[in-house]
Amino acid sequence: MNKKHKRILSLLLCIAMLFTILPTTAIAADATETVGVSTKEALSAALGTGGSGNVVLESDILDITNQLTVGRNVTLDLNGHHMKIFITAGKENGIKIANNVILTIMDSSNPSTGKLEIGTNIKGGYNGYGAGINTTDGTLIIESGTVISNGEVSATGIGGGTGAEGTAGNIIINGGTVIANYIGDSMFLHHNTVTINGGTVKSLFISTPVNSAGEALSLVKLTIPGQPNQFVTAANIGGIDYGIESISTDDDGLLYLWLPASIDGKLITVTVNDIDYGVTYQRPYNGGGVEQTMESAVTSISIENEPIKLTYIEGEALDLTGLKVILNRSDNSSEEVAFHEFISNGIVTTPANGEAVSVSGSAVTITCTLYNKSVSQPIMVIPLDATISPTSISYDLNASDDISTAITRNANSTITDVVYGSVSLPTEAYAVSGNALTIKSSYINGLGVSEGDVLPFIISFDMGKPVTLNVNIVNSYTPSSNALLSHLTVNGNPINEFDPNITEYQMTLPSGTRSVLVGAVSEDPHATVTITKPQSLPGDAIVSVTAEDGITTKNYTIHLTIFQSNVSSGGAGGSTETTSNTPSKETKSIFKSNLPTIGKAYIKAKKGADNSATAVISKKIVANTMAKAQTESVKQGKAEDGISILLSISRPAGTDSLSVVLSQDILTQLTTIEVSTLEIECDLYRLCLDLEAIKEIQKQSTGDITIHIEPVTGLTGDAKTMIGKRPVYNITISYVKKGKTVHITSLGKGNATLSIPYTPGKKENVSHLFGVYVDKSGKATRIESSAYDTNSGSIMFDSNHFSVYGVGYSTPKEKYTDISTHWAKESIDYVAGRGLIDGTTTTTFSPNMAISRGTLVTALGRMAGVDVSKYKTDLFTDVEADQYYAPYMEWAYKNSIISEVSSGKGAPDQAVTREEVALILSNYAKATGYTLPVIREAISFADADLTGSTYKEAVTSMQQAGIVMSRSDSRFSSRSNATRGEVAAMLHRYIKLSIDPATAQGWVVNDAGQRLYYKDGIMVSNSWLEINEKWYYFKTDGSLAVSTKVDGYEVDENGVRRTKENE
């Protein structure tokens, strides 16, 4: 260390020692001190000269009559106490602040109760005295507390208050309640700079006050209703920084705020007694102040009444007519505001009324702009479906190119799928470029299509319905006209000396031959060969050949005869039947019913609490199912018959109830495409809703609908007697509105078909099972039109409302002794049990007796529920008025069900032939508005030529509906009398058909008591068929083979094939 550095270090050490030995009072002269005062003398001394200090009142000081002079920077804390100054003599002020001195007034008490009150009665004018607080060239800052300044203003130029008389001085108000009452002149001289950053200030000013940002301020008097002399605990003054410490309303509930023009139109909110109040600031434009009344703030908005219109098509104008909301306020009051009052109440909607709605908007947002409170009103916007052009296009197999169609997307943004034949096209099979869809020729060629085919491509989008592009396969190739055969065989054996140019042949078959297989091969592989077998043997087989050109045809006829008997004793005690195992080249018969094509979707329900299960159906599942059904309907040539949707739901183990949830979007899908029915099936029930029912549910509901089924227990009275321990369920359809569940109980003009599975007890007669309806009071009603279907194992009935339904049973009252072995016993029990046909005596039904016209029309009238009181005229001369059938004869005639037999005669006792029954039943269907379904393939009865021309159409329609059937040997016996047992069976079939057309499928019994089986509308014949893991053989006439031997197999008395010993 050098000498220079040593000298500097020694100097620093000396200075340090000097400060160490100085008295502490010497260095504390300028330090901030805190002094508590409780007398005016102590207060006066504390405000005097010296360093900065804090002066805290420790008690009220109310006796100050001389001027207090502030000679140093002081913070005066009122500390919740009252300080009062009143000057009446001398050239003094209440408080005088020395030059360049700062006096800060505050109140640390909470809530603030500190008050400084100053009054003078000195006429000083501009002579430096007479002011409440004279700032001179000093500064007054008010942070909190209440400051009241009253003064004698005559010639003083002050008038009392927080102002100052002098050539300069600053007044800064950051908070608190400041009141200046005076007479004459204003409280602040123009030499003062007045800054207001907060507080409530009741005063006038010579010069305009400003805030710390230099903005000129204007007075706003805010009235807070019902809140006089109350503190403001929170506030938002238009988003600016404004002090609210210790501000309170006056006796009239007023606040005096000084605000800049920059917050004009902005929200002012204050909180008083935990209640929020608000108002939009409106600055004065005339230089003066403005008075505004605050209202309790809006805390939320709720919907009182929804708009009348809730569903829109994309692009429609929004119509909010009928909308009403409730404004909920902070003081627990509320106010209803109708739509036409929205503008005057500062309420806006997004989108605006009259604005076009878009698919992306699923709700209208309703906003109270002043308080930025909103609520949403859901609406449904149905997208405009995408379209394509062209919708049909040709594809030439001889000159194949890619095919394209232009897309108008509307609300749809993307193509989600392209489907052909229920299979989605791979991505490489098509391309989307801009608004064009191109399907590659390589894909079409790989389908193995031929000229005349129509390929429906179903194009799906992210919104709206799918569209169909039909590709018509054409071929510029000239087709062949060759319609000749190259080979013709019978039961695998070539026809001797076959010549393609010879079209008739004779062939004798061995005796006992019951079926025949004809094989034929065309010379041109592109020709079509159709083989028509004989209805029975002997008979003619026809082979029809249509050339590739579709014009040239040739028919070959084989006359088949039987040579000798070949019947031997069978192992089961019956006969032996032989069929050929040679592959057949026969063209498969294709039957088209007039029923809708069914699209089926499988859904797994999810297990919830309390043994419940729920299946939420997605819009995509329904859309895909509809698209597949539409594709299949086009493929089958049945597009005009429409489609139905079947949702098959599996229920998790351990659950006993099921809820199926469908959205409004799904209902819109179903009604827009106009499905015939929506069916829901599970192990508990099967429900089928027709289109009118779906529309009614959509009309009544808002939001998702829930179809719920749950078991019912605790039945009493008649309900318990009828149902017993059989299944009974409460079935409901509901939706939620405003948080409450609303049930849909009526379907209006719609109809629902309900099937409840049930296995009859060992001693129960299925014809005496019926559906039961139980109302809310527990009263049970038998559903007369219900029926048990043995094929599905369910009780079925129609209804147009929902409630509690179950399976009932009544012990048979009729003890007919002559039907126990009759083939129609089940049907007889049914019609007799429902009072449609009475017995001939109390113990006999006489099933083989011819039925009379009177008995038939009585049964139909009872089935239709005719009011007999309306039919009392003597219409027929041969019908006595007291006969049971009299009103029904009149009803049937007036409704064109029957006609006169001869002039004025109804012939009630005349027997009815089978063809007449067919016509009467057909007329009955027309009279009651029932459209007979075409559900079975039309057959040509062996004696069809005996049916009168008047009856042919009726016989065909009733046969295809499954109501009338053949007797033995495929004969209809048109002109034979219909027996009472046959008519009982026909009525039973009719009723079940009207509930569910599916009852005409599966196992049936013809009018000879023979069992047959219908599959997809076609009678199974001349073949084996596996049903429920058992094999059965059906003969050429469709009847079930029993107690015989077929193809080496033993067939038992029930028609079931026994397994061979070596199998």
Give residue 353's pLDDT band: very low, low, confident or very high (50, 70, 90): very high
Per-residue pLDDT for 411 more than 70? no
Give residue 900's pLDDT band: very low, low, confident or very high (50, 70, 90): confident
How much is the average pLDDT of 194-208?
A: 84
Give residue 788's pLDDT band: very low, low, confident or very high (50, 70, 90): very high
Least confident of 91-95, 570-574, 817-821, 901-905: 570-574
Per-residue pLDDT for 182 more than 90? no
- Structure confidence by residue, pLDDT tens digits, 313-340: 888 899 999 999 999 998 899 999 999 9
- Structure confidence by residue, pLDDT tens digits, 31-42: 478 999 999 999
Query: What was the pLDDT predicted at 567?
Result: 32
DSSP characters for 125-172? TTSS-S-SEE-TTSEEEE-SSEEEEEE--TTTS--SSS---SS--EEE
Q: How far apart are CA 733 and CA 800, in angstroms?
A: 12
Per-residue pLDDT for 167 more than 70? no
- Structure confidence by residue, pLDDT tens digits, 259-276: 999 999 899 999 999 999
How much is the average pLDDT of 250-262?
A: 94
Where along the chain do its domains lie? 32-214, 218-296, 298-382, 387-474, 485-559, 597-809
**Which token pair is 588?**
């498969």
Main-chain dihedrals φ then ψ at residue 889, nearest 5 degrees: -65, -45
Q: How far apart are CA 644 and CA 193, in angstroms?
A: 86
Q: Which residue matches tokens 């640390």?
A: 108
Give residue 548's pLDDT band: very low, low, confident or very high (50, 70, 90): confident
How much is the average pLDDT of 608-627?
A: 87
How much is the average pLDDT of 672-677?
A: 87
Whether the CB-CB separation of 193 and 171 falls below 8 Å is answered with yes
Give residue 191's pLDDT band: very low, low, confident or very high (50, 70, 90): low
- Class of the CATH-defined domain 387-474: mainly beta
Instruction: Count CB atoms within 10 A of the CB of residue 168.
Output: 15
Mean pLDDT of the chain: 84
Least confident of 170-179, 407-416, 968-977: 407-416
Per-residue pLDDT for 293 more than 50? yes
Query: What was the pLDDT predicted at 861?
Result: 94
Query: What was the pLDDT predicted at 6?
Result: 40
DSSP characters for 469-511? EEEEEE--SPPP----EEEEEETTEEPTT--TT--EEEEEEPT
Q: Which residue matches tokens 């909010």?
A: 320
How much is the average pLDDT of 285-306?
A: 87
Least confident of 192-201, 403-412, 639-648: 403-412
Query: What was the pLDDT predicted at 584?
Result: 33
Give residue 14's pLDDT band: very low, low, confident or very high (50, 70, 90): very low
Query: What was the pLDDT predicted at 972?
Result: 93
Give residue 514's pLDDT band: very low, low, confident or very high (50, 70, 90): low
By C-alpha distance, which of 771, 852, 843, 854 is closest to 812?
Answer: 843
By C-alpha distance, which of 154, 143, 104 is closest to 244?
Answer: 143
Query: What was the pLDDT predicted at 818?
Result: 93
590 SS3 class: coil
Query: What was the pLDDT predicted at 151?
Result: 57
Per-residue pLDDT for 628 more than 90? no
Q: How far apart are CA 677 and CA 682, in angstroms?
A: 16
Query: What was the pLDDT predicted at 231?
Result: 94
Query: What was the pLDDT predicted at 479?
Result: 79
Fold assignment, 218-296: Immunoglobulin-like (2.60.40)
- Structure confidence by residue, pLDDT tens digits, 686-738: 999 999 999 999 999 988 999 999 999 989 999 999 999 999 999 999 998 76
Query: What was the pLDDT predicted at 544?
Result: 92
- Structure confidence by residue, pLDDT tens digits, 866-891: 999 999 878 899 999 889 999 999 99
Return contacts of 502-505, CB within 8 angstroms, 24+ apart. 503/554, 503/555, 503/556, 503/557, 504/556, 504/557, 504/559, 505/556, 505/557, 505/558, 505/559
**H or E stretch including 520?**
strand 518-522
- Structure confidence by residue, pLDDT tens digits, 1000-1032: 889 999 999 999 999 888 899 888 888 888 899
Q: What percent of the chain has pLDDT over 70?
A: 88
Query: What was the pLDDT predicted at 150?
Result: 66
387-474 shares the fold of 298-382: yes
Query: What was the pLDDT predicted at 490?
Result: 80
Per-residue pLDDT for 847 more than 60? yes
Q: Which of the following CATH numbers is that of domain 298-382: 3.40.50.880, 3.40.50.300, 3.40.720.10, 2.60.40.3630?
A: 2.60.40.3630
**CA 1004 from centroid of its chain's CA atoms:** 41
Per-residue pLDDT for 743 more than 70? yes
- Structure confidence by residue, pLDDT tens digits, 136-157: 778 889 999 999 876 554 433 3
Q: What is the 3-state secondary structure (H, E, C) of 232-287?
A: CCEEEECCECCECCCCECCCCCEEEEEEEHHHCCCEEEEEECCEEEEEECCCCCCC
CA distances from 284 to 148, 179, 221, 241, 846 (A): 26, 22, 11, 21, 106
